[in-house]
Structure 1
């Protein structure tokens, strides 16, 4: 069957690294004899426009050139399951890294084989989460970036080390169908993927296709906790100690008792009083390396 591919290109993601013309040429080299259509996002009604482009061209493959936000936009626009290939151009590209697509070169090389993996989604108060959502520490960093205009990995890493000790623990009530319990933590993470966009592994043993999400508390109160967490972030080994606790769930509700900042896939969502979280098993298909 002839390959019909639709490229969704975000010109605001990595616009200095590669032009649309160059990217199209490189796609053609890796995705030989494919009919390629192109749509550029504008920031205005993109979801509706993407749906119309899909209906117009009837592709059997979607290419997404952008960051996590662009990937999420395309995934939310789908009315039927189509394989999605990520060509990472954003500053972090967390979901791509979870799929083994660290660089643009990896995304292009994956087009040669088109190996497809089922990927779960997480429904959080009716909104899609593909990668990670959290209360507290990381959401506070994102708020700081938006206020100060900080961008890039070095800015993230520097802010992380300063704020990880400054953030106070916050209280949350976790409610499942079987039990309720309260936690006090600096960061409460809802994880589909296993790592941050930096590549740091925050969800050891996490999987995008196991029909579960992980609820993770992350705390650094003493220097020994910093070593525990640091080892986990690099090696992917679950730390032995009090710095990290993990629960594997398919649904829960979380009461935000101290009205803490919340983010989904890098986008701030205010300070919700409660969020309802449900797994959506094998909702999407993504091309992996």
Structure 2
């Protein structure tokens, strides 16, 4: 992209409802060490999982309008709920390259198995975004898949509030995990998609509850792998060499910056400086 398009020197924008997108931030920082990252967590309105599609779309429009003004050269929607409910719509409205999680996650799962379970927020599950993406992608090349592709989705409403409260290894989490996984295990899944960017932090809890044969898929890892290739194709890779540190990145939230800094420290390995920002109020209809 050239002319009036994004400048390769601009940062990559990354956003989520809260802490979860930091799992994607870590993968970006590891795989794209030359890039600057701008992270936004909509902590004043987390969790997104119980929100209506209309609310999610409004929130995403506000975040993208703010990010566009920073500016950023592209946006990573590090939120499965936003990716499921808003990505297709806002791609038509904003002149920004955008990456979501659903398609990369579906494609990665199909390389692992044919009986696919998804754990996600209620909003993502209700959208059936993963089931649709898995069926549509597998239908493009049916001879590639030796067995019928099946997908089951399970809403996990307790996970995000507990993680956002700083609980990542509590008895309440373990009990919820056992409850949520049981219906998927009864279906004999061979692959499990972590359909929320908060969930990779729960891997130490979830892994022991799964048979060893079940493959675990983090869509954020698949997304970043795709993004790394696209940056070069679009001419948006940062033009200078050298490795940046996470402390050079920018972290912003809509809620309490001190609380976010405290809770983000274990995710990042350092205490970030966090800014509180006010998102633009948009007159949006339809």
Larger Rg computed on CA atoms? 1
More strand by share: 1
Q: Same fold (TM over 0.5)?
A: no
TM-score, length-scaled by structure 1: 0.31
